[in-house]
Amino acid sequence: MQIEEEIIMFLSEFRNIEPHRITNSTLLFDDLGIDGDDAVELMEEFSKRFNVDLQTFHIGEYFGCEGLPPTFLFNWLAIIFKRLLGKSTHEAAGLKPLSVARLVQAAEKKRW
């Protein structure tokens, strides 16, 4: 099995969705709804399973935090407004996109 297929199966199991719904261009935050503690768990398991050094990976660049900060309502209203203006979910949240392709690249290099 190729590394891309292994990562797709890994994500499929993690999110409990059919593997055919995940492609190389699938975004973890936007398309799979991975965020907060789930993102931390996913990336820790990804690192272990694919032997990837994540020392230079900064989770806050790609995923939001768990829980509700005091500014939660304002933040989500701002995100909704930005989405109405045509921005992607990660752009509206001020995050970098993280695709399956990027995970494949890291798994192949064994580092972020």
Q: Identify the domain containing residue 18 by its residue range.
A: 3-68+95-109
Q: pTM here? A: 0.80
Note the pLDDT tens digit of each residue in 90-106: 666 778 999 999 999 99
**Structural domains in the chain (count):** 1
Count other C-beta atoms under 10 Å from residue 24's C-beta. 13
Rounded Cα–Cα distance for residues 12 and 20 (Å): 9
Q: Does a structural domain hold residue 27?
A: yes
In a domain, 82, yes or no: no
Query: How far is the C-alpha of 54 from the C-alpha of 66, rounded, in Å?
Result: 20
For the beta carbon of residue 41, count every other beta carbon within 10 angstroms: 12
Residue 48, in any domain of the structure: yes
The CATH number of the domain holding residue 58 is 1.10.1200.10
Q: What pLDDT score does 22 carry?
A: 98
Angstrom distance (rounded) from CA 88 to CA 28: 13
Q: Has residue 38 been placed in a domain?
A: yes
Per-residue pLDDT of 12-66, as tens digits, reads 999 999 999 999 999 999 899 899 899 999 999 999 999 999 999 999 999 987 6
Asked if 15 and 108 count as a contact pair (C-beta separation under 8 A), the reply is no
Q: Which pLDDT score is estimated for 94?
A: 74
Tell me the sheet residues that pair with 99.
27
Domain-embedded: residue 35: yes
Q: Nearest 5°: phi and psi at 32? A: -100, -10
Confidence band for 88, pLDDT divided at 50, 70 and 90: low
In a domain, 88, yes or no: no
